Chains A and B, each alone.
Chain A
Amino acid sequence: MGDLLAPANTLEVLLGNEAVARGALEAGLNVAAAYPGTPSTEIGEALAKVAKQVGIYFEWSANEKVATEVAMGAAWSGLRALTMMKHVGFNVASDAIFTLAYAGVTGAMVIVSADDPHAHSSQNEQDNRHYSESVGLPMLEPSNPQEAKDFTKEAFELSSKYKIPVMVRTTTRISHQRGPVRLGEITAGFSKGKFVPPEPDRYLQVGAIARKHHAELLGKLKEISLDVAPSYAKVEGASDAEFGVITSGVAYAHAKEALKLVNVDAKILKLGMTFPLPEKAIGEFLSSVNTVLIVEELDPYLEMRVKAIAKDYAPEVEVLGKLTGHMPRVGEYTMRTVLNGLSKALGVAPPVNFAEIDRRSSEILKKVPPRPPVLCPACPHRSTGYALRRAAGRAAFMGDIGCYALLFQKPFRVEHVTHAMGSSIGLANGIDVATDQDVVALIGDSTFFHAGIPALINAVHNKRKMTVVIMDNRITAMTGHQPHPGTDVNAVGDEAPAIDIEKVVRSIGVDYVKVVDPYDHAATEKAIREALKHDGVSVVITKRECALLTVARLRRQGQKIVPYRVNPDKCTYCRVCINTFACPAFVDTGSLVEIDPTVCFGCGACVPVCPYGAFEPQEGSLNWREQKIGV
């Protein structure tokens, strides 16, 4: 939405993620690679959009580890490289990153970790500040979109100066915060570098060489803690205050406002670099107050380290936070969380009567039905879920990471597990070893390329009996439609060789492979039944593009989206459609089922679901299955 290439010295509205991208462009970025993952995705989307114009190289890689290695290769060839990932994506990349810290870089490299407190769009609330310390890479933590841009740019300068990668950690409320950003000059572009190891053993991490590089790394980190970290430590507020707050990231933004509301004299130490920490600056701050509250999301990362520093600098100071029960450890912070924590630490009543607000609103909220995310109208996964329920209802279902994870919901319930990228097939291996149950693994196309293939190879080689359903919707859908190795375009819109999933599967040695259009419910059901009977590894590929792509294309082509309708003379109000298919366009009037025309995409997938044929096209409605739209 914001103009990523707006001129220097102007103010532009940027999403935190766009601001990171802009910061990299201002720092002279040459190469960026990533695998999409919320809340990091828009960094790559922003770069993909401008890559050709600015002349940088950008790719959506097969997974985070490969993306990291692409960026490393560039940074080892003297270029400036960026990779970014969601917090759990860092786990995938970490094997490369741990050793990268020893190796360092000849150009510059920045690694963005976008954490997701509250697990808004994630499977856990992992706190990647721990990675920074255990890997041994400096970490900057912006507290708003402006800093997201500035810190990213500065991270490149630090990386270039100290010849080690630098991490930038954001959290959801920074990544997905939009705000005014004052821009600088774009200096990005691409020119070929040269791979020349600075010393012959620089990239050969074994034994004595690794130990030597480890010691060097620790030396650099010591230097950074003394020379750089203090400049990111900012004290604000009443200098004679006896109450202090130590904070960083978006928690700082909450704390700053919350302190105004509680109206007490206090000062804030805001840390922009959270590894290595500016020990002396923290020590001096602690010496100047009686009590300090640590305001940080997730783990008591700062709290533990501040306590250790306090022991040397100010043993009398009272350090409050998560370990003392003043602040919660689960979920993200809001103004309310921080106000409550502050009030508790100060021993005053919160300035807002939350109990009264809860009393007023709880009665109302009880009457508002929950609305969790559901599969979109026309989603091909709904049809696959429908067929799976009918054909394999008693199987053990190993799900994976993607929109189809929503198939855990009623009425489908064909996901017993959602774990980590590619885990569906790996887990199916294990469940088959351990039980006599039918096992079905459900995995999307992008996830299959990311981490599914080794597990499928494992299954074939170890003679497992299991069924893998690859739900190929021709895109990385959940994160907002990024291409992947199976699509015929790449990240910047150029034609690219599409890796054929069916061929990959056959080449591995799977001898039952069926490709079906999931909208053909009967054929899909039949394929799954056969697959389950097959003695060995069977694969069913349900292939139909994400409905949002189809709708967008139809609209671009000027096609009217004409919804279907329910013929009231045919509807018996048996509710089979709601109870087995549950399209969000269905409306239960109490005597009939109707279709909400503002929700229906007019796909016609519901037609075979009604035993009485009550779903009917209207004048101008399409039939995606019969007209082969979206396949």
Chain B
Amino acid sequence: MSVREFNVIVAGVGGQGILFTTNVIARAALKLGLNFAQSEVHGLSQRYGSIRTELRIGSDVSSPLILEGTLDLLIALEPLEGLRQAPYISERTTVVMNNHVIPPVGAYLERFPIPSFDEILELMKSLNPKQIMVLNAYDIAKKAGDYIVANTVMLGAAQATGVLPFPEGVLREALEEVSPSRYRDLNLRAFDLGRESVSPPR
């Protein structure tokens, strides 16, 4: 298959499994023989700070960093972190967003107002993305067995949007390959529940 350029950001709070989520998508790209470049964050900034990984898939790609306004898929494991990607979001962006807000504790100390999820959603809409899918990934993950697989729920939902340049099934196979054996079944259950639970486009 041929893909020229498909840009993904996975954003969230350090510790939410952002890197794992991105690695699964990269593994799918590898399985299909597609070129890609993924840029990620390690070290101190992982610790409960804003984290995003950037993944660029396609034959035209050489830079590992996404140009503003050219994002195709945003997976926001935390909605504030999704909104923080505003410069990258445009009419070509599909947004898959978890509705569980994790307030940065520093904001309380600085008396910085924390927007509610509904406010975040309105702000996201004002950027005119192609579509926004919202889900309660933690509730779904708990149904799958443990809230720690909320990231895989989001991945299933991302697959359900149909925008990823992969044929049906490849992403799930990639997840199966990349999962540690201890979490494989749990991850696959979460992925399937995520895929089935996508709310209709708003």
Residues of A within 8 A of B (CB): 1, 11-13, 15, 38-39, 41-42, 120-121, 144, 173, 176-180, 250, 252-254, 256-258, 260-261, 334-336, 339, 352, 354, 357-358, 360-361, 364-365, 367-377, 403, 405-406, 409-411, 478-480, 575, 578-579, 582-584, 586-588, 596-599
Nearest CB in chain B: distance from A348 CB, A: 17
Binding stretch for chain A, among B106-114, B165-173, B192-200:
B106-114
A596 to chain B: which residues have CB within 8 Å? Answer: 102
Check: B131 CB closer than 8 A to any chain A CB: no
A178 to chain B: which residues have CB within 8 Å? Answer: 23, 26, 37-40
Contacts A254-B65, A371-B13, A374-B106 known; 5 new A-B pairs at CB < 8 A: A178-B37, A180-B36, A357-B68, A369-B110, A578-B105
A367 to chain B: which residues have CB within 8 Å? Answer: 83, 113, 115, 119, 123
B110 to chain A: which residues have CB within 8 Å? Answer: 369, 410
The answer on a CB contact under 8 Å between A11 and B48 is no
A143 closest partner in B (C-beta): B62
B64 to chain A: which residues have CB within 8 Å? Answer: 144, 173, 177, 179, 250, 253
Contact with A along B14-34 (1 / 0, CB 8 A): 110000000100110010010
The count of A-to-B residue pairs whose CB atoms sit within 8 angstroms is 205
Interface residues of B in 108-147 (CB under 8 A from A): 108-110, 112-115, 119, 123, 126-127, 138, 147
Check: B162 CB closer than 8 A to any chain A CB: no
Residues of B within 8 A of A (CB): 13-15, 23, 26-27, 30, 33, 35-50, 60-69, 80-81, 83-84, 86-87, 89, 100, 102-110, 112-115, 119, 123, 126-127, 138, 147, 150, 178
The answer on a CB contact under 8 Å between B87 and A361 is yes
A377 to chain B: which residues have CB within 8 Å? Answer: 48
Nearest CB in chain B: distance from A37 CB, A: 9
B50 closest partner in A (C-beta): A371
The answer on a CB contact under 8 Å between B38 and A179 is yes
Compute how far the CA of A261 lies from the CA of B63 in the bound complex, rounded to whole angstroms. Answer: 13
Partner of B42 from A176, A335, A360 at Cβ < 8 Å? A176
Partner of A578 from B23, B35, B48, B108 at Cβ < 8 Å? B108
The answer on a CB contact under 8 Å between B26 and A257 is no
The answer on a CB contact under 8 Å between B147 and A598 is yes
B123 to chain A: which residues have CB within 8 Å? Answer: 364, 367
The answer on a CB contact under 8 Å between B109 and A598 is no
Compute how far the CA of A376 lies from the CA of B83 in the bound complex, rounded to whole angstroms. Answer: 23
A358 closest partner in B (C-beta): B87
Compute how far the CA of A265 lies from the CA of B116 in the bound complex, rounded to whole angstroms. Answer: 50
Nearest CB in chain B: distance from A339 CB, A: 7
The answer on a CB contact under 8 Å between B102 and A598 is yes
Partner of A584 from B46, B48, B65, B147 at Cβ < 8 Å? B48
Partner of A254 from B23, B63, B87, B113 at Cβ < 8 Å? B63
Partner of A173 from B39, B44, B108 at Cβ < 8 Å? B39
